[in-house]
Each structure stands twice: as C-alpha cells, then as structure tokens.
Structure 1
C-alpha cells in the first residue's frame, strides 16, 4: 500500500486546487483572478499524475519506492481540500504595515464629480498622504475594508493590496474617527462613509495613516475578492 502514498498526495493536492478554482471564488484568497486558468491546468495535471502514478509504479521497469512521508504530506493537502484557510486579515495587516515603502509626493489625476466617492483604501491612502494637490479636500468618500485596531483603541478600515498572490500583500488603511457607534470587532468587514481630515505635510510621518472623519459605518459581507490591486 505504501506505493500509493505519492499518488494520494498528488490526487488530494490536485483536487484541492480544482475545488477552489472551479467551484467558487476561494482561489481569490490566495492569488489574483488572472491566474485562475493556470491553477485549473495545474490542478488537472496533478490529478492526472495521481491517477497514472500507481500504474507506472506497477510496471516491471518502474520499481516503486513507497515512503511513509508521502502519507504525512497528504494531511496539508486534505486540510486545504476540506477546510480552506480564510483570507489574510488583521494579523497580516499589522505585520506588513511596518514595511510601507516611501513614495514621492506629487499631483494625482482629477477625481470624478459626485459624492460620496467610492475609492479603494489604497487609493484613498495614496492621495491622502502623497497628493500635493489635496484632491480629497472637501470630498465625501466611501471605503470598504476590514477592521484593525491599536492597543489604545484606535481603529482603522484596512485592506490588503496584492500584486500577484497573498505572499506579496502590502497594507493600505485609514484611521476612523467620529463614528457614533463603537468600532465593530477586529476583522469585521465594514463600509465607512466620511471626509478626509488632513494632518501633516504631504509625505510626512504625521500624514500616515490618513484620517477619515466618519459619518456612517455599516457592516458588510466580505467581498468575493478580499484584496485590492495596486
């Protein structure tokens, strides 16, 4: 039976990949939407290899060397198949916030007319901190993200920005002030409507994180794609 360990590992891993890509949006917790076709091909290839491996190993010219290790390696694959982990949340945001790269101050393109203005958290953060033209001044904006908080009770609407996959995630966030109600629990998804409060000179340490004076905070469901694109 030991010779079936590698085959079981391939089958379970391939099935897990196909499950999160073919039957829902779970793959968006790990990679960008454009990588879905590659995941499907990879999952199908793993399943195919898993099916033919026992046949190859039973051939007289292909001696088998089964290993107990292969059976142990099936456990992570089985866990991914049955219990996919959640999207990155407040822990990842706190860890990555310290790695925020410095950017140059400059002007940004004009914003469309009409309030409230729906912005990504990353776009709001960039304009609030680095826009020398102060294009957010006087505008009502609407941001959607999950709740993070400091030990002193300060809370933020936060979003992780992913270029390729979850491993390269960086953080955008806005400090929320003035909401009538207490902040929802950490990792709760919310939509916050409010106005930007300028603090510090553009690009300065005082300007980060940007502040939003909230008029309304609404709990929402986590979106199918929890990450923003740069």
Structure 2
C-alpha cells in the first residue's frame, strides 16, 4: 500500500482543489474570482499526476510479482529478490499525515474569514485621501459596498452620501456597550491579504443586535462623524431604517 502513497496524496489534493473551484464556488472563500482558471488547471494537473503515479505503482507491483515467481531457484536468487523487493523507497509512515489536510479540504472546506479575522485586523484606511468623489448613481435605495460607503464617509469633501438612502450587506461584529457593526473583508488576491471595512449601525432598527457572524442587509442614511480624513471619522456611522437577515453570499468578500 505504501507504494501508492504519493498517488493518493496527489489525487486528494487535486480532487479538493477541483471540488472548490470547478464543481462549486467555494474557492471564493479564499481567492478572487479571477484566479479560478488557475485553480482548475492546477487541480486537474495534480489529479492527472496522481493517476499516472497510481498506474506506475501498479505496474511496478506486477513486475515485482513476476520476479517473485521466476526467482524461486535458490538462496542466492532469493537474497537478490529480497534486496530488490525492499529497494523501493517507502518513506516514513508519518508522511501519511500529509493526507489529513487534503482530506479535510475535500470533505470539510474551511469557511470564509469572519469576525475573528476582523477583530485581529487593524483598521485599514482607503488610500485616496480627502477630496471630492464622483457622483453616486441613481437609485433609492442605492446598493453600495461597505468599503465604498466607508471611503466616502471618511474622505469625501463633497458629502455625496448626504440625503441618500443606502443599502449594504455584510456580516455582524460587535463592539463594546452594545455597539455592533456591519463588516466586510476585502481581498486583493487571496484571504491572506484581507483588510477590513466596517460601519457602525445605529437607530431604532439597530436595537437587539444580530448574532455575531450572521449576514444582514442594512438600509439607512449616512450620519456624519468626526473630521474628514481623521481617526475620529472612523468607523463611519449609518442610521438604520431596515435590518434584514440574509444568507451568506457566494462571494463573501467586498469590492471597492
């Protein structure tokens, strides 16, 4: 069975990558959509290498069996056969532990980053600095990302959010004294570089904060806070008129 170790590992890893990228959208928990083709190709190549390794191991096994049948002619031949039979690199048994993370990814894909990651991530400020932003498109309410709202609330000297009814979706995180936030993580490439955007939710509809990590869509209006471009303006505030629990989206990460 040991001779099939590398084949099993390659097939498990390849199958896991294909499962999350080709047969589902679970890959969006870890990387940007643009990386899907690379994952599919990588998973396919790993699975193919696993099949090739399994076929080679099988052919070696048949070859060894033929030598055992032909080699039963005396002590010297038996010694040579025994030496040849044990010459295959078997590796330590502990190497089989490498199959565990691959098997876990195949059967139990880890969830997207959530409140724990958000609590460990330092507040990230939008890079554009204080200035006038482009006018928002029409719509009432207007769907906007948490990152876009945060940037405009903190840096827009034109106050483009003023007087607009806005709608955002994110997961719930909690602060002190009953404060809760609509939170979203933004990834540039993959989950490893995730940064946080969050909006403090106030108003009568914000009473009775939803459970941590639950997903909600919040509709409301901008509440000015602090001086633009300073730490006092972060996190921005939204006065909620509607708070509705929703399912986690297929792509849990935010867009600028």
Over alpha carbons, which structure has the higher Rg? 2
Does residue 129 in structure 1 map to residue 154 in structure 2? yes
Aligned to 1:227: 253
> Residues 172 and 215 of structure 2 are in contact (CA less than 8 Å); yes or no, is this contact kept in structure 1?
yes
Aligned to 1:197: 223
Taking only aligned residues, the RMSD between alpha carbons, in angstroms, comes to: 1.8
**Deviation per CA, 1:93-134, whole angstroms, max 9, x where unpaired?**
1111x1524642111111112321110000000000111111
CA drift at 1:21: 1.2
Aligned to 2:176: 151
- Structure 2 Cα separation of the partners of residues 54 and 15 of structure 1: 15
Secondary structure of the equivalent of 2:137? coil
> Residues 6 and 66 of structure 1 are in contact (CA less than 8 Å); yes or no, is this contact kept in structure 2?
no
Does residue 206 in structure 1 map to residue 232 in structure 2? yes
> Residues 25 and 224 of structure 1 are in contact (CA less than 8 Å); yes or no, is this contact kept in structure 2?
yes
CA drift at 1:55: 4.2
Aligned to 2:165: 140
CA drift at 1:13: 0.6
Aligned to 2:23: 23
Bigger proportion of residues as helix: 2
Residue segments in structure 2 that go unaligned for 5+ positions in a row: 65-86
Instruction: Calculate the TM-score normalised by the size of structure 2.
Output: 0.84
Residues 217 and 173 of structure 1: is their aligned pair in 2 closer, same or farther, counting only changes over 3 Å? same
CA drift at 1:152: 2.4
Secondary structure of the equivalent of 1:34? helix
> Residues 9 and 70 of structure 1 are in contact (CA less than 8 Å); yes or no, is this contact kept in structure 2?
no
Instruction: Calculate the TM-score normalised by the size of structure 1.
Output: 0.93
Aligned to 1:76: 101
Which 4+ runs in 1 deviate beyond 6 A? none
- Structure 1 Cα separation of the partners of residues 20 and 139 of structure 2: 38
Paired residues in the alignment total 228
- Structure 1 Cα separation of the partners of residues 182 and 253 of structure 2: 13
